[in-house]
Amino acid sequence: MRSRVRVDCTGLRCPAHVSRIERVMDEVEVGDVVEVVLDGDEAVEDVEAWCRVTGNAVVGRERRGDELRIYLERRV
């Protein structure tokens, strides 16, 4: 893991949050971790599905109050 980037996607719905994540993932290097802040369980499902399709990986999850944080590692 080289670096960690944070992306705030609270208040966004599909496809807006996935588009924002995709732009950031395109800018980081393989092995970097992106911390994504979301505010809904359905958003997490969208991001996990996007990872399966793109070959990236979910490497962690946590809940902080109403916020959900999901950690994505760029693998491709």
Domains belonging to the chain, first-starting first, are 4-73 (3.30.110.40)
Structure tokens at 58: 């979910």
Q: Single out the residue of 70, 76, 74 nearest to residue 35, CA to CA.
A: 70
Backbone Cα Rg of the chain? 11
* Cβ pair 19, 40 in contact under 8 A: no
pLDDT in tens, 10-44: 988 888 999 999 999 999 999 999 999 998 888 88
Q: Are strands 4-8 and 33-38 parallel, antiparallel or unpaired?
A: parallel
Structure tokens at 74: 């760029």
- Summarize the confidence of residues 39-57 as an average pLDDT: 92
